[in-house]
Amino acid sequence: MSTSEQPITNKAEDSGEISINFGEIFRTLTSYKLLIGTCAVLFAALGAIYSLTQPNEYSSNAKLLPELDSKSGGSGGLGGLKSLAGLAGVDIGGGTAGSEAIRPDLYPNIVQSAPLLQEVLKAKIYSTKHKKWQTVLDFLSEKQDSAPIDLGGDTEEEEDSDAKFDKVPQSALSADLIKLNKKEQAAIKKLRASIVLEIDKKSGVISLTTKLTNPVAAANITSLIQHYLTKYVTDYRTQKARKELAFLEQRLNESRSRYDQALFTLSAYRDQNMNLFLNVAKDREKKLQYEVDMAYNLYTTISGQYEEAKVKLHRETPVFKVLEPAQVAVKKDGPKRSLITIGFLFVGIFFSLIYVFFKTVNLRELLG
């Protein structure tokens, strides 16, 4: 009897199955409930203190709708045919009408670029703290609005002099080189961390958000970046047209001067040779008249091209529709102090459970 029952008794052990006794786990946790509760309360208190050391942040958002480039659909209604021909690998011309436009997915890179942020640093905004106007550079270089609990750890380092750069001769530096001191570098770093530009690929709406500890400064900087972004894109789109217009304006002035000079020479010659009937004088008059006609034709041709260039410049200028201008935030955007406190509380519970696990479980038996 005993020999037949022996395999049945060891069957559960031989099968390798692991049984979980929830009652034992509950009793273990109950015995350590004071420890778990103490850890949770301590971590929650640390989380609450940490959240109070974080300054309030305010967001300002602006939304823009850029002009859609529809020039590729022009040229006598060949836009659809060009797209179909492009799929077939055939170019029927006129496909580069809008090739000079900046793709919207490059706008975030433009906003984060140092030259654009340098222009923002030079602009002036109103400081509610000092009740006066100051540059964005001076505003960002100052200590920002403090948190409810200020630990005083946000002290600024003393700026070293730029003696190394001053020793370098100006001729050794490129004209396109950007020279930034430590103050400007720190301000640009803060701007890059505070600015977010997102583009909705379906609707094409550009959303620009600036998050700072001062709501008025956040709204002002959002408006400045919006202005400089549209200016940058406009300058890029119209750069070639503006160069062409300036060139034609110079040629127009030259052709006008040439025409005036030729007309004056012909009039003066006629006044001096009114009663002459020599063939030489007549040939000379014909030559001067020919020069006047040629100068006039050149002047009228360039004048027409100049007017066309002005129309082209106006046509190339992009239009940005402001859907939502930047506004001064009324409510703070962060930090979420309640969520930070709850997060720390769960971290305390997690670490206390780990401690209880290693305290109660025999690792040698568990690892075999």
- The DSSP letter of residue 57 is B
Per-residue model confidence (pLDDT) at position 159: 47
How far apart are the C-alpha atoms of 78 and 86, rounded to whole Å? 12
Per-residue model confidence (pLDDT) at position 202: 84
How far apart are the C-alpha atoms of 192 and 138, rounded to whole Å? 16
Per-residue model confidence (pLDDT) at position 85: 43
| CA dihedral of 28, 34, 36, 38, whole degrees rounded to 10 | -170
User: For the stretch 293-319, what's the b/e string if a residue is b when 16 or more beta carbons lie within 10 angstroms of its beta carbon?
Assistant: eebeebbeebeebbeebeeebeebebe
Per-residue model confidence (pLDDT) at position 53: 79
SS3 assignment, position 309: helix
The verdict on pTM exceeding 0.85 is: no
Cα atoms in the 13 Å half-sphere on the side-chain side of 150: 9
Walking along the chain (368 residues) 10 residues at a time, the average pLDDT comes out as 44 52 73 85 89 84 76 44 43 45 82 89 84 87 70 50 57 70 88 90 88 88 91 89 93 94 89 72 84 93 93 88 86 83 90 83 54
How far apart are the C-alpha atoms of 191 and 144, rounded to whole Å? 13
Long-range contacts of 172-181 (CB under 8 A, 24+ apart): 178/114, 178/115, 178/118, 180/114, 180/118
| Direct distance between the N- and C-terminal alpha carbons of the chain, in angstroms, rounded to an integer | 32
User: Where along the chain do its domains lie?
Assistant: 26-54+335-353, 55-74+101-334
Instruction: For the chain, give the number of residues.
Output: 368
Which residue's structure tokens are 């492009």? 86
How far apart are the C-alpha atoms of 216 and 112, rounded to whole Å? 21
Which residue's structure tokens are 């930034």? 180
Strand partners, 207: 63, 198
Count the helices and strands in the chain (H runs, E runs).
14, 6
How far apart are the C-alpha atoms of 202 and 268, rounded to whole Å? 70
Per-residue model confidence (pLDDT) at position 164: 56
Helix axes 33-52 and 22-31, enclosed angle (nearest 10):
60
Per-residue model confidence (pLDDT) at position 2: 44
Per-residue model confidence (pLDDT) at position 37: 86
> Within 10 A of 206 (CB to CB), how many other CB atoms are there?
23
| 324 phi-psi bin (left φ>0, alpha ψ -120 to 50, beta other) | beta
Cβ contact 98:246 at 8 Å: no
Per-residue model confidence (pLDDT) at position 254: 94
Per-residue model confidence (pLDDT) at position 106: 85
Per-residue model confidence (pLDDT) at position 359: 78
How far apart are the C-alpha atoms of 261 and 295, rounded to whole Å? 9
Per-residue model confidence (pLDDT) at position 9: 44
